[in-house]
Copies of this chain bind each other. A is one copy, B any other.
Amino acid sequence: MMATRPERIAYYNGEFLPENQIAIPFRDRGFRWGDGCYDMARTFNLRPFKLKEHIDRLYRSLRYLRIDLPISPDEMASISEEVLSRNLHLLGPREDYWITQRISRGVDAAGDEEPFRRGPTVIVECCPLPYRSRAHLYFDGIDLLIPSVRRTPPSSLSPRAKSGNYLNHTLADLDVRSRNPQAWALFLDQAGNVCEGTSNNIFLVSGGRLLTPREQFVLAGVSRQTVIELAGELGIGCEERDIDLYDAANADEIFLTMTSMCICPVRSFEGTLIRASTIPGPVTHRLQRAWIERVGCDFIDQFTRTLKSGSEVA
């Protein structure tokens, strides 16, 4: 499919190749065990946002996983920029990219044989943001449901490493979608506290202030950090602390932060509509506008205009 469009170029172990020429050996530890990590930024107006922060986090994940990567953070940034620049001509007007670095520990040997290749597997690739499937969420808000599985505890695998082991997330997503196909999963941690979504962070607005879970049990999202910074600039208080179902039930507004959509409002939490009478609520809206101003790109419009005339943007 997509045969008439030129194929995107990605980086694979030292080469820039068309995406469909990249072939992972089936004994790659990424494929066998999810033994790797990744990070993912987005562009605004075709420039990657906080790429350094994303790459620094990637190297913290690598260090936690004890993967030695013979590529420096600066080289990784250059490769990422190069991948973007080779694919810019494929974008439609006002579109932006997700840019992903993914590293696995490399290829396993078969029995006593020599492994097929030594050293980590590295892929850097980009793809357009999911404009059409997510655009309506800016208007409708997200329905959050709590899955029956709890977030993996740091004592087993730290949620702060953006790893390739996301079955915990997949089980959570499938669980909540079996009840409501539109719902998004929101994890509780092992202690029963509100934790994170399956690739996003949660904020509550309560009495005009922001509450968000402490970093130990969640991925320290770059978007989460951006909201904390914007809140500081806007004079909105923000506290990182344990949050539970009582807090969520009584929140005035709730929103999620994530790389693609930046800040997206929540409509309901475990079946209860949030208190605010508008979507987004007023504090969520202020933060969205502040972000848009900061990056000079109206990401909400970028998503939602696809709802009007789908064919133009595809």
Contacts and interface: CB of A to CB of B under 8 A. Distances in A.
Interface stretch (A163-171, A227-235, A283-291, A292-300): A163-171
Interface in A85-120: 98, 102, 104-105, 110-114, 116
A263 to B, nearest CB: 19
A271 B148 CA distance: 11
A258 to B, nearest CB: 14
Contact of A154 (B12, B66, B246): B246
Interface stretch (A31-39, A44-52, A75-83): A31-39
A249 B63 contact: yes
A197 to B, nearest CB: 15
Given A150-B192, A152-B156, A175 B63 contact: no
Interface in A107-161: 110-114, 116, 123, 125, 127-133, 145-146, 148-158, 160-161
A277 interface: no
Contacts of A1: 113-114, 116
Given A148-B188, A178-B270, A165 B104 contact: no
A98 B113 contact: no
A156 B167 CA distance: 9
A221 interface: no
The 4 closest A-B pairs by CB, nearest first: A34-B34, A178-B271, A23-B23, A155-B192
18 contacts: A26-B123, A26-B125, A30-B32, A31-B31, A35-B167, A35-B170, A60-B250, A65-B171, A98-B111, A105-B170, A110-B128, A112-B128, A113-B127, A148-B245, A150-B156, A153-B153, A155-B190, A155-B191
Given A31-B164, A175-B270, 20 more contacts: A2-B113, A19-B26, A24-B31, A26-B102, A26-B123, A34-B166, A35-B170, A63-B272, A66-B174, A112-B128, A112-B130, A148-B245, A148-B270, A150-B155, A152-B152, A152-B157, A158-B245, A165-B166, A178-B270, A216-B242
